[in-house]
Each structure stands twice: as C-alpha cells, then as structure tokens.
C-alpha cells in the first residue's frame, strides 16, 4: 500500500506533467483547465489523475502519436487500464468510421494551437462506442516552446453501447 496517495500517480503524470498541462492550456486557450484548489503541483498531479471529474488524455508527437497519459476518468470511459492505454496509438480510440472527423480535429489543433467544441464517437476496449462531448484539445509545449504532444479534455460523455 502506498504511503501517500500521490504515489498512485504514474510517473508520466507527475508534477512536471501537471505544470505542462495546466500552463499550456492557460497560455493557448486563455482560461484555466480547472480552478486550482491544491497547494502544490504534486497535489495537482494527483487530483488531475485520480479525482478530476473529466477525462484527460495526452499523446506524443509523430505521424502516429501514442498515448502517454490517461487519467482515471478516461481509463474508466475507454475501459483500458494505464498499462494498456499508454503506448496505444491515439487513432485507435476513435471508431473507424469516424477517423476522418478525429483527424480533422487534430489537424485544427496543430494549425491553431488548440480547438474546442468537438464531439466525437469513441471506441472502448470491448468494442462498444460512446460519445465524448465538449472536447478541448491543445498543444503541449514546454517553456522553451518545444512541442511535447497534445492533450485533450472531455467534460461530458455518453454511456457505451454496442455498435449496430
């Protein structure tokens, strides 16, 4: 058992990543990802990973980016544990017949730094489909301006259903 609840946050989602998420979102969108109510970045990292009432995902750079972060809300929605989510190409999270919508949204983020208001059909580990709504996606850039990937937050989602 962990001595501290913060030890339950995977290393990839630690304080430095919380800072990257929060500062990139604020810089690009002009608004905070959420209202801060923590005393340290370690507490922020824990809250974003374990307690946030929204799904939060991040994927890397490259032609076929792979997830390197998924908070517990996202893990529950998609049905993947951390160990399976991380490393999975992010394109596999979308239903195959909705790939073009997803790709268009991702391109818009790449061109403008962020985009919001997206609704998309997603696929769970078991093959069920569900909608994510009110999605904001933004570029992750370190203080030097180097791109570290993209993050997405979804604040609403539907229950999963078997595709027809």
Give the DSSP letter string of 56-97: EEEE-SSSS-BEEEE-HHHHHHHT--HHHHTTSBGGGGB-GG
pLDDT of residue 23: 95
Over the stretch 14-41, which tens digit does the pLDDT of each residue have? 999 999 999 999 999 999 999 888 899 9
pLDDT in tens, 37-91: 889 999 999 999 999 999 999 999 888 999 999 999 999 999 999 999 999 999 9
Over residues 107-124, the mean pLDDT reads 92
Gap between the Cα atoms of 42 and 39, Å rounded: 8
The whole-number pLDDT of residue 9 equals: 60
Contact call for residues 110 and 38 (beta carbons, < 8 A): no
pTM equals 0.89
DSSP run (H or E) holding 151: strand 147-157
Give all domains of the chain, ordered by start, each with its CATH number.
5-157 (3.30.450.20)
- Give me the pLDDT at residue 2, please: 38
- How far apart are the C-alpha atoms of 123 and 160, rounded to whole Å? 8
Please give the angle made by the CA atoms of 162, 83 and 138, to the nearest 5 degrees: 75
Two tokens, residue 14: 């630690």
């Amino acid at each position: 058992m962990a001595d501290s609840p913060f030890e339950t946050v995977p290393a990839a989602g630690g304080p430095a990543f919380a800072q990257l998420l929060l500062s990139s979102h604020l810089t690009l969108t002009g608004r905070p990802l959420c209202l801060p109510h923590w005393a340290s970045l370690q507490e922020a990292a824990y809250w974003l990973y374990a307690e946030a009432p929204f799904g939060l995902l991040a994927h890397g750079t490259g032609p076929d980016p792979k997830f390197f972060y998924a908070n517990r809300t996202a893990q529950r929605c998609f049905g993947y544990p951390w160990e399976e989510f991380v490393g999975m190409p992010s394109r596999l999270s979308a239903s195959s017949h909705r790939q073009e919508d997803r790709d268009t949204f991702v391109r818009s983020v790449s061109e403008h730094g962020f985009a919001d208001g997206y609704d998309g059909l997603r696929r769970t580990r078991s093959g069920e489909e569900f909608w994510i709504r009110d999605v904001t996606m933004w570029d992750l850039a370190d203080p030097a301006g180097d791109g570290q990937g993209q993050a997405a937050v979804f604040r609403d989602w539907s229950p999963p259903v078997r595709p027809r």
